Amino acid sequence: MDYEDAGEWWQVTGKALLRIDNISKNFGGLKAVADFTLDVMEGSITSLIGPNGAGKTTVFNLVTGIYSPDTGQVVFDGKNITGIQPHAVVEAGIARTFQTLRLFENLTCFENVVSGQHCRCRSGVIACLLNTKSRREEDARAFNFAEECMRLMGIWEFRDELAKNLSYGDRRRLEIARALASRPKLLILDEPAGGLNENESDELMDKIRQIRDSGITVFLIEHDMHVVMGISDVVAVMEYGRKIAEGTPEEVQRNPDVIEAYLGSEEDEELLATLKKGAMEEVTQEAAQEAGEAV
């Protein structure tokens, strides 16, 4: 497969790798997710955005088996995975990272990444005890692949360092390397650029593109609009548990409902500015077009 033009490729295959079909989740009286539907196309980078508390993380938790939806279903790669256990979701081919880091702080980076492929190891207890040849070969394959994942994320040099000694940005990359080690078809990232500076965010965007270009579909939640608008093929927007918009980054930026959703949410001032800029450019373009036509 030639991934050079992967941005086009997902549109060509037109296959939904993940189908989220009308899912809802209530917490007490609160509708955290309400009739939410979204197709994540194979080979795409799809982003989920929305104000804090909109229900984004809950959607991820419903897809990855942390919670079961009250209604609706989740279909992955043609299989119904609604309500299956988190470990079975990983085995099916979905890996994720969390909004707050979840690493084994007192293990080395290499050990953290090797732990990520636990689900792909076939040897049983007896083989482990006897240290059989097939078991040793399996270890070698696991170690090689862990190295590949760490090199891809640019953290191979930290292999023998304890996870807790890494900078925040490197720890974020380590978490993605560990997720990649489970050989997912779909990688789900919850605010991967959270807490990163501009340089680190730019580097991360390149890494996410590389991951997608290697054939892994990416579904992410992100607050950093520079990241979202820079890398996404499709952006879906949530507010109060519902999907209020879906489209290309350009379409979403111009959508009045999206701008409305972000009005008044102070922490998203920068985001609002980005959206308004998109809307202004649209108005200016239209005005220019009309002026052109009038001449």
Residue 117 interacts with, from ligand ADP, Mg ion, none (CB under 5-8 Å by kind): none
Choose one: 54-62, 116-124, 196-204, 206-214; the region binding ligand ADP (CB under 6 A). 54-62
Q: Are 183 and 152 within 8 A, CB to CB?
A: no
CB of 61 to Mg ion, least distance (A): 9
Among positions 24, 46, 47, 57, the unique one binding ligand ADP when judged by CB under 6 A: 57
With CB under 5 A as the contact rule, the residue among 46, 47, 57, 274 that binds Mg ion is 57
72 binds ligand ADP (CB under 6 A): no
CB closer to ligand ADP out of 100 and 106: 100
Cα R_g (the chain), whole angstroms? 21
CB 84 → ligand ADP: shortest distance, Å?
Answer: 19
User: Which of Mg ion, ligand ADP, none does residue 53 bind (CB under 5 to 8 Å by kind)?
Assistant: ligand ADP
Q: Is 271 in the site for ligand ADP (CB under 6 A)?
A: no
Q: Which of 54, 103, 187, 188 binds ligand ADP (CB under 6 A)?
A: 54
Residue range at the interface with ligand ADP (CB under 6 A); choices 50-58, 134-142, 242-250, 272-280: 50-58
In the list 6, 16, 18, 32, the residue contacting ligand ADP (rule: CB under 6 A) is 32
Residues 225, 274: contact at Cβ < 8 Å?
yes
CA 14 to chain centre: 19
Residue 56 makes contact with ligand ADP by CB under 6 A: yes
With contacts defined by CB under 6 A, how many residues of the chain interact with ligand ADP? 11
Q: Which stretch binds ligand ADP (CB under 6 A): 47-55, 145-153, 157-165, 264-272?
A: 47-55
Residue 69's binding partner out of ligand ADP, Mg ion, none, with CB under 5 to 8 Å set by partner kind: none
Q: List, in order, residues 6 or more apart from 84 with CB less than 8 Å away.
A: 65, 92
**Choices 56-64, 117-125, 127-135, 280-288 (CB under 6 A): range interacting with ligand ADP:** 56-64
- Give me the least distance between CB of 2 and ligand ADP, in Å please: 36
Question: Phi/psi at 258 (nearest 5 deg)?
Answer: -70, -45
| Contact footprint for Mg ion (CB under 5 A) | 57
| Contact footprint for ligand ADP (CB under 6 A) | 27, 30, 32, 50, 52-58
